[in-house]
Structure 1
Amino acid sequence: MKKRIAIIGGGIVGASTAYYLSTLPGGDQLDVTLYDDGVGQATKAAAGIISPWLSKRRNKQWYQLATDGASLLMTLARKANLSTEIYHQTGTIVTRTNEKDLHELYTLAQERQAESPDMGEVALLSAEEVQARLPLLTRPQPGVWVAGGARLDGQALVEELLSQAQQVNLTVKQERVSFDHEGQLIASAGAKRFDQIVVAAGAWLPELLAPMGIKVAVRPQKGQLIVLNVPDYPTQENMPVLMPEGERDFIPFGHGKLVVGATHDDEGQFDLSVTPDATTDLLSSAQHFDDQLTADSIVGTKVGTRAYTADFAPFFGRLQSHPKLLVASGLGASGLTTGPLIGQLLAGTMIYGGTPDWSKYQKSLTNYVS
């Protein structure tokens, strides 16, 4: 008899978990159901940059999770046969205006490259060399080139992973679910029994677990980005991502599409309406590098809700108080980088059991869930 598994949340963690439950050995013995109401998902509004290596965050566990996540994505792109419209290793450029800061960043890149060969080539670029790689720019700045960096369309990735899993053992239901005080899943058709449940609901995790008396230290943050129409250069599909100092990220997607974002609005929380001031801020940031952009260039806006912890670190694992429940949240702005690896780890422990040691990636789960 097949084991029944539920996944709550169809974002990057939920979709990745579903994908690996369908591809890891033993997945043919599972019957998987994913629930998602499609509201507010951070993945659908993510800017889509995979380049963690030059981060100056001091959390070594997060850095290990992010760098291993970036490496996993390279493998996932091949195994899932992702198109370059979804995942494309275009490289990234991180800019600095101060010459001393620029050389310090380049030195850091060389040090990190020795530890992380997946970074690929690193190089110090002048403003003119940056513009040569990104002809969209009219006001280029010098920067550090990282060849292993990539851009990722979060929504397209989730759709592709779920589509592939549905061909094996996954059923997707677009509905909102809840738990009762005993931890039983309540769907639109009533109570449902599952052998294991992954709760990957991002900022909505506290609300879901509250009926069981479980507290989760997660806060919501609103994020907004804009999509602009720009000249379709012949090389645009292969243009690198620009990560400017103190400004919004600048992500060419090819075919005349440019994504700029995203904002970090702690006050907005679960508000999914477009904020005009945020739109103005995003456009102004983009104009620092391309003065040909205008409000008429904007062709779309995306809004989502991220989940953050107090120390900006993700968490994931099995709840000791409810052993059939596994949770994941707190990915913040690094969800597209860390989410697939978290999904793979959760899928593996559900199939193979045991008590894996994930301490190299995170602090104790009890720091966030009580």
Structure 2
Amino acid sequence: MQKKIAIIGGGIVGATAAYYLSKLPGTQRLEVTLFDSGVGQATKAAAGIISPWLSKRRNQRWYQLAKSGADLYPELIHDAQLGTEVYQQTGTIVTREEATDLETLFALAQERRQTAATMGDVSTLTAQEVQAKVPLLSKPQPGVFITGGARVDGDALVHALLDRASEKNLTVRQERVSLTPDGQVVTSMGPRHYDRVILAAGAWLKDLVAPLAVTADVRPQKGQLIELAVKDYELQENMPVVMPEGERDFIPFGHGKLIVGATHEDDGKFNLTPDATVTADLLGSAQRLMTGITANDISGVRVGTRAYSSDFAPFFGPVPEHELFLAASGLGSSGLTTGPQIGRLLAGSALYGGTPDWSEYELPLTTYLRSSAE
């Protein structure tokens, strides 16, 4: 008998869940349908940095989740047979202007490396050594270099994972769907029943679960980044990602493409219109570290909507009192780091059932999902 699973949302969580639902043991009798409207998705507007180890966030559950997400990437990329245009461990450079701040950062890196083998080697670099690794920078700062850091193109990753899953048991439908109070998925062809439903709709989760009389602690945040056409250095594909102190992140890709960003705009919410003022701010950040860059070098602007919870922590798991549904949201700006691990865990739960203990990674789900009657 075929088991039917629906996924609502085709971002990093939904796409990874779909991929694992095509690969895990027991998926031969599985039919998976993914619904996504294609509008506003944070993942497709993102070019991410996979380097959580030097984060100052004090939330240890978040750190364990982010660390496990970074650990998962090499395995996921290898198994899905994806190339360096999607993901590459180029290394990460985190800069500091003050020598004492650099020493503190290096000490933190050495400490965390003891429990994070994926970090690779850790070293300090002078400003000149940073420039040698990233010649795009004409005004470099000294920094800490982590060889295990990586860059990932969110849009390319999502498309590739969905393509792999579609070769097996996945059907993708580009449409916005809703839920009925009794747990059916309302599609363009009418209500449909599924054995399990994964709700991976990001900032749209709040509206999605409302018919279930559930309130989700989720708010939207607008994020923008710019693509710059820069000098195409021979080894640009291997340039490390740079996280400059006080400036936007620099993510070099091959063939003369540089990503700068991203912003965190609480007032923007679901607004997907590029803001000229924000674009100028991002360009200004690039110009403070590079010479010769002008507005004419902007080759594209990406805009998406992130989801945040009140305590800035992601949450995922069975919806309280609605065990048919598995939900995930609140990933914020670290979605490309934590999302694959969340998607993998949700896929396993949807397929095998049970009540897995994910307390290592998150607070109880009732912290974020509550009955509207409460």
Q: Same fold (TM over 0.5)?
A: yes
- Partner in structure 1 of residue 347 of structure 2: 347
Query: How far apart in 1 are the matches of 2:196 and 2:233?
Result: 49
State which drifts further: 130-139 or 109-118.
Answer: 109-118
Task: Name the counterpart of 1:243.
Answer: 243
**Residue 132 of structure 2 aligns with which residue?**
132
Assess if the C-alpha contact under 8 Å between 2:320 and 2:366 holds in 1. no
Deviations 1:156-210 (A, max 9, x none): 0000000000000000000010012222110011000100000000000001111
- Return the offset for 1:288: 1.4
**TM-score, normalised by the number of residues in structure 1:** 0.99
CA distance in 2 between counterparts of 1:290 and 1:183 reads 53
Partner of 2:74: 74
Whole-angstrom CA distance in 2 between matches of 1:83 and 1:349: 29
Q: d(CA) in 2 for partners of 1:108 and 1:261?
A: 25
Whole-angstrom distance in 2 between the partners of 1:238 and 1:83: 13
Q: Does 1:155 align with 2:155?
A: yes
Q: Return the letter of the residue paired with 1:296.
A: N
* 8 Å Cα contact 2:320/2:365 also seen in 1: no
State the SS of the aligned residue for 1:273.
Answer: coil
The residue type equivalent to 2:211 in the other structure is P
Q: Give the residue type in structure 2 aligned to 1:187.
A: T
Tell me the distance in 2 between the aligned counterparts of 1:353 and 1:310: 29
Q: One-letter code of the match for 2:355?
A: T
Greater mean alpha carbon deviation, residues 127-136 or residues 22-31 = 22-31
SS in 1 for 2:52: coil
Match of 1:176 in 2: 176
Q: Quick check: 2:183–2:193 contact (8 Å CA) kept in 1?
A: no
Deviates more, 1:187-196 or 1:349-358: 349-358
Matches within 5 A, 1:316-331: 316-331=316-331
In structure 2, the partner of 1:122 is: 122
1:198 aligned partner: 198
Q: Is the 8 A contact 1:47 1:260 kept in 2?
A: no
Please list the CA deviations of residues 90-131 of structure 1 after superposition, one character each: whole Å capped at 9, or x if unmatched: 000000011110110001011111111110000000000000
Quote the offset at 1:356 in angstroms. Answer: 0.5
Q: How does 1:1-370 map to 2 (within 5 A)?
A: 1-370=1-370
Aligned residue identity for 1:86: V
Where does structure 1 lack aligned partners over 5 or more consecutive residues?
none
Q: What is the CA-CA distance between 1:310 and the residue it aligns to?
A: 1.1
SS state at 1:299 partner:
strand
Partner SS state of residue 52, structure 1? coil
- Write the distance in 1 (CA, Å) between the matches of 2:282 and 2:65: 29
Write the distance in 2 (CA, Å) between the matches of 1:32 and 1:13. 15
What letter matches 1:105 in structure 2? L
CA distance, structure 2, for counterparts of residue 310 and residue 280 of structure 1: 30
Matched letter for residue 51 of structure 1? S
- Determine the C-alpha separation between the residues in 2 that align with 1:27 and 1:159: 21
Equivalent pair of 1:127/1:143 in contact (CA under 8 Å): yes
Q: TM-score, normalised by structure 2?
A: 0.98
In 2, are the aligned partners of 1:250 and 1:259 still within 8 Å (CA)? yes
Separation in 2, partners of 1:183, 1:286: 48
Task: Tell me the distance in 2 between the aligned counterparts of 1:72 and 1:120.
Answer: 14
Instruction: Give the Cα–Cα distance (whole angstroms) in 1 for the partners of residues 214 and 189 of structure 2.
Output: 25
| 1:93 aligned partner, one-letter code | I
SS state at 1:215 partner? strand
Structure 2 SS opposite 1:40: coil
Give 1:353 deviation, angstroms.
1.5
Following superposition, the deviation at residue 47 of structure 1 comes to: 2.8
Are the aligned partners of 1:121 and 1:146 in contact in 2 as well (CA < 8 Å)?
A: yes
AA aligned to 2:151 is: R
CA distance in structure 2 between the partners assigned to 1:240 and 1:105 by the alignment: 18
| Structure 2 residue identity aligned to 1:367 | T
Q: Deviations over 1:49-91 (max 9, x none)?
A: 1000000100000000000000001111111111000000000
Q: Distance in 2 between matches of 1:180 and 1:355?
A: 25
In structure 2, distance between residues paired with 1:68 and 1:17: 16
Q: Is the 8 A contact 2:8 2:201 kept in 1?
A: yes
Q: Which has the larger displacement, 287-296 or 355-364?
A: 287-296
The Cα of 1:298 is off from its aligned counterpart by 0.2
SS at 2:215's partner residue? coil
Sequence identity (%): 62
